[in-house]
Amino acid sequence: MAFYLHRSFSDDPDIFVLHNLRLEDPAQPEHHGSPGVCQIDHLLVHRFGFFIIECKSVTGEVRVRPDNSGGDEWTRMHGRKETGMPSPIQQAQRQASFLRIFLQSHRQNLLGRQSLGLRTIAKVVHGSDQRGFKSAPIQLVIAVSDKGKIKRLGGWEPSHNPFQIYVTKADLVSDKISKEVERHRKGAKSTNKKAHGEYGMWSMDETEIEHVARFLAEQHLDFSGAPKPRPKQTAPKRNRRPSREKAIGTGHPVKAACKHCGSIDLTARSGPYGYFWRCSSCEKNTAMPVVCSTCRANGKRNKKVRIRKEKGSYLRDCEACGTSEPIWTER
């Protein structure tokens, strides 16, 4: 999926891609009181909103049918046996709700105020002229493996109100997203807003798109709960264009531990064969991993994945998919 998204959107200055995004928010606690956590397979940040892509690795057949109350029921086939599975649409909707609340709580740092002509109206209606994410489109795409099969039963169709939800094969996701983004662009330019529904009604400017995408990448937590090292952040500039490579890799967490004794008391070093960790316990070396967590390209085989040092952080850059991800920060 990361490969398809990179090929389709790496040249679009209005779209940023984040992979395996994990967010934590104490303001949305879990049932046992710990901070709420949201895991998103792939998130696209674009001028007119967001796309959440929930991936399902299915090599057989999945079936979707209406539940006669406006919902959807999912099952999976194992040979001739049909078993139930959670609805990925409902899962993605919970992610969208979490993301919206999380972004809304940080709206003052991410978005500017309403345009001068709308400030008075906004203050009357909402009590503030600060723009926010309450009406930002967060669209859902359920991607099934290319080898899988989707069977829609009982006339089931995904919702299209106010925005289209897609359940599709992975190789078709980029095309669906491109069509939806174009609908937003046409809606934003049209003088007849009613003809386009809510498409194009909400938008960000160029610098806000990048600012929001980088903010989310910096909030990413690995699965141990430790924050990822933060990439260098520069203040948004009004005329600054995003770079061509925009995929912000959060990837799978790097579990830094000595391969000989398991100690985590490590120090980063460099040598003729690249960067490595020196263990303070057994004084042996462990090479820093050069396998991209997004596309799985192996730097030892094709030289497309390299580790570089930027001040106190070590970054893993992949030429194959354009991802750059922090893997270590000096203590």
Instruction: Tell me the pLDDT tens digit for each residue of 64-113.
Output: 999 988 889 999 998 889 999 999 999 999 999 999 999 999 998 899 77
Summary mean pLDDT of the chain: 83
43 forms beta bridges with: 18, 52
Total-model pTM: 0.68
Is a pLDDT exceeding 50 seen at residue 155?
yes
How far out from the chain centre does Cα 16 lie? 9
> How do residues 281-306 score in pLDDT, each as one tens digit?
888 888 888 888 777 788 876 668 88
Q: Classify burial at 115, counting beta carbons within 10 Å of its beta carbon; exposed 0-12, middle 13-18, buried 19 or more.
A: exposed
How far out from the chain centre does Cα 39 lie? 9
Is a pLDDT exceeding 80 seen at residue 62?
yes
Cis status, amide bond into 162, omega within 30 of 0: yes
Is a pLDDT exceeding 60 seen at residue 118?
no
Q: CA-to-CA distance for 274 and 294, rounded, in angstroms?
A: 21
308 forms beta bridges with: 315
Which of 213, 264, 247, 223 is closest to 324 using CA atoms?
A: 247
Residue predicted with more confidence, 137 or 257: 137
Handedness of CA 38, 40, 46, 48 (dihedral sign): negative
Are 250 and 20 contacting, i.e. CB atoms less than 8 angstroms apart?
yes
How far out from the chain centre does Cα 133 lie? 16
Q: What is the mean pLDDT of residues 143-164?
A: 93
Least confident of 135-139, 177-181, 321-325: 321-325
> How do residues 7-24 score in pLDDT, each as one tens digit?
999 888 889 999 999 999
Predicted local distance difference test score (pLDDT) of residue 15: 94
DSSP 248-260: EE--SPP----TT
Is a pLDDT exceeding 80 seen at residue 114?
no
